[in-house]
Amino acid sequence: MAQNVRKTVIIDIKTENTGADAMADSKRIISVQIGDPAKQDLYYADANVGERSLFQAAIRIRMLIAQGYLFAGYNLKEFEVPLLRRFLALPIPGANVLDLRDFDGVKRLQQKTGKASLELEEVCREYGIPVEHKRQMDEKVEALKKKPEILAQANEAAKQLAAKGWTTDYSIKYALESISSGHAVLESYEEFVQKGGAGDSLYYKYAVGDVICEHLLLQALQRPSTPAPASQQV
């Protein structure tokens, strides 16, 4: 079936991870976001309301798979797909996965920048897609980077990264960014839970904001000037 006649939905997850390794240090999924610019649904691990629980998220994902939906997202194959399988025992078939990193437009941008991989924000900015929803979280991250306990954790984690052959400076920078980001997301999530899953909370805006910008990016990448990845063409 051609990609442009299949129904597509964005899927994104956030995990509890205050370490330096995006995969190995993830302890659990704290939320699953599904939707598009018109409507976003956020399911979370500590939901008191049943219809917003991760159990309900799994039911919905299975239903969408059965209906033939494509799940789209940035770095979906390397992050969401394996972690949904690990934590929710929820396999998403490869035929239902559309990773935005596989589009030619993203690959051309990688070649242009000379980077092995690009963050979602970098690609969105290239296509003129706003990522303002990340600003408050970024400010929180920067504040956490100055805390002695965060610096100590980052320095310790950097030793393990340097042992892999990374430079010391890059190891420290990477570890500090990852660890501070993880703590910022977790703190924001805990505040979100305390407020009963409030839609005006920092965490909610941050999480659903990714769904919106990924959908806008998908639309931009699907335009004639940016062909779909070969795996999705017929």
pLDDT tens track for 105-162: 999 999 999 988 999 999 999 999 999 999 999 999 999 999 999 999 999 999 999 9
3-class SS of residue 7: coil
Q: Structurally, how many domains does the chain consist of?
A: 1
Asked whether residue 17 is domain-assigned, the answer is yes
Asked whether residue 58 is domain-assigned, the answer is yes
What pLDDT shows up at residue 225?
66
Asked whether residue 81 is domain-assigned, the answer is yes
The span from the CA of 166 to the CA of 175, in Å, is: 11
CB neighbours (10 Å) of residue 68? 11
Domain membership of residue 130 as a residue range: 3-228
Asked whether residue 87 is domain-assigned, the answer is yes
Is pTM beyond 0.85? Reply is yes
Summary count for the chain: helices (H), strands (E): 8, 5
The span from the CA of 233 to the CA of 186, in Å, is: 39
Asked whether residue 7 is domain-assigned, the answer is yes
Asked whether residue 234 is domain-assigned, the answer is no
Please give the helix or strand (H or E) that residue 125 lies within, else none.
helix 120-126
CATH number at residue 47: 3.30.420
Asked whether residue 233 is domain-assigned, the answer is no
pLDDT confidence tier of residue 86, bands split at 50, 70 and 90? very high
What is the longest distance spanned by two Cα atoms in the chain? 54
Residue in 11, 42, 89 with CA at minimum distance from that of residue 188: 42
Residue 4 has pLDDT above 80, yes or no: no
* Amino acid letter, residue 109: L
Question: How far is residue 13 from each of residues 28, 30, 45, 101, 144, measured CA to CA in Å?
Answer: 10, 8, 11, 16, 22
Stronger pLDDT, 4 or 107, i.e. the higher one:
107
Question: Any residues with CB less than 8 A from the CB of 141 and at least 6 apart, and which?
Answer: 177, 180, 181, 184
Asked whether residue 179 is domain-assigned, the answer is yes
